[in-house]
Amino acid sequence: MRKPVVGISYKTYVNTIDKATELVKALADVTEDEKEVEKFVFPSLGVMYPVAQVLKGSEIAFGAQNISPYENGAYTGEVSIESIIDMGGTHIEIGHAERQSIFHETLDMIHLKTKLTLEKGLTPVLCIGERERLDNKSGRKQVLKEQILTSFGEVDAALIEKVILAYEPVWAIGQAEAADAAYVHQTHEIIREIVKEAYSAEAAEAIRIIYGGSVSKDNVYEITTHNDVDGVFIGRFGHDPANYKQILHIVKQVKSK
Ligand code: PGA
């Protein structure tokens, strides 16, 4: 049994201490003592410390939307994983589409970050996804396979199942609607198949694959009703704690069946 996942990234939408702490406090309040779903938030990096203080003792984990590929040293302007660990962070988002398209992050960088995160015992939330809708199944598989294999690189195969793969088709991010459920389901099957073929049946069975890209309370049910979808990664529609509560509730219901 894979533990279901509901994650949120606030990107750089909520950047002041007051607003960010108020928001995560509200999330923690609506979450109460829910334990069956793995929950994490990625606050805007500049407000990580106050957010960490608020989430201490809650059922919601947190981490960074990005880290330096290097543990420490002369890397001006980067955020070290050492600081995230020191604050109690447990999850690291890696390779989001915006980091790749706007900040020119390469798959080699993504690999270094994935490797470092795993070696430090944290959970990488590794983003993958095709830029344009690819109805051709083998074409889609090819693109995702290259992303997965390059990002993992020579990572110890035993650690691969610790990764959460966030399937985020770039064309469905920031839209009014998510990718349609049938397309998402088929892609999650493809991703699990890639992990099975490249690593092992055990790794494919254990790894969590979640969907991100315009997830809302209205589409989460359809998206998660497939065995290969282990949860969701929320963006804008997680800014309202009431929506978050509903999304969490739906994922929990669907995955407990
Ligand atoms: P969105 O963001 O839900 O606002 O589309 C999702 C993401 O980029 O992870």
Boundaries of every domain in the chain: 5-255
Atom of ligand 1 nearest to the CA of 174: 5
pLDDT for the residue numbered 95: 98
Q: How confident is the model at residue 38 (pLDDT cuts 50, 70, 90)?
A: very high
Set 38, 91, 93, 96: catalytic member: 96
Query: Phi, psi (5° rounding) for residue 168?
Result: -130, 90
Enter the pTM of the model.
0.98
DSSP state of 238: G
pLDDT over 90, % of the chain: 98
Read off the tokens for 105: 């992050």
Residue type, 37: V
What are the distances in angstroms from CA 221 to CA 74, 217, 227, 242? 46, 8, 12, 16
Euclidean distance between CA atoms 214 and 211, whole angstroms: 10
Gap from CA of 66 to ligand 1 centroid (Å): 15
Is 155:194 a contact under the CB 8 Å cutoff?
Answer: no
Section 109-135 average pLDDT: 98
pLDDT at 214: 98
User: Among the CATH numbers 3.20.20.70, 3.40.50.10300, 1.20.58.100, 3.30.420.40, which is that of 5-255?
Assistant: 3.20.20.70
pLDDT per position as a tens digit, 163-221: 999 999 999 999 999 999 999 999 999 999 999 999 999 999 999 999 999 999 999 99
What's the token pair of residue 32? Answer: 């109460």
pLDDT, tens digit, for every residue of 69-97? 999 999 999 999 999 999 999 999 999 99
Instruction: Please tell me the distance from the alpha carbon of residue 168 to that of residue 232, in angstroms, as a whole number.
Output: 10
Task: Give start and end residues of each alpha helix (H) in the chain.
Answer: 17-31, 48-55, 81-86, 97-101, 107-119, 137-152, 181-198, 201-206, 220-224, 241-255
- Which numbered atom of ligand 1 lies nearest the CA of 11? 8
**Mean pLDDT across the chain, nearest whole number?**
97
Name the nearest CA neighbour of 241 among 90, 32, 5. Answer: 32
Residue 163: predicted pLDDT: 98
Q: What is the pLDDT of residue 154?
A: 87
CA–centroid distance, 176 to ligand 1, in Å, is: 10
Percent of the chain with pLDDT over 70: 100
Which residues fall within 8 angstroms of residue 136, CB to CB, at 6 or more apart? Answer: none
**pLDDT at residue 110, rounded to an integer:** 98
Question: For residue 100, how far is its CA from the centre of ligand 1 (angstroms)?
Answer: 14
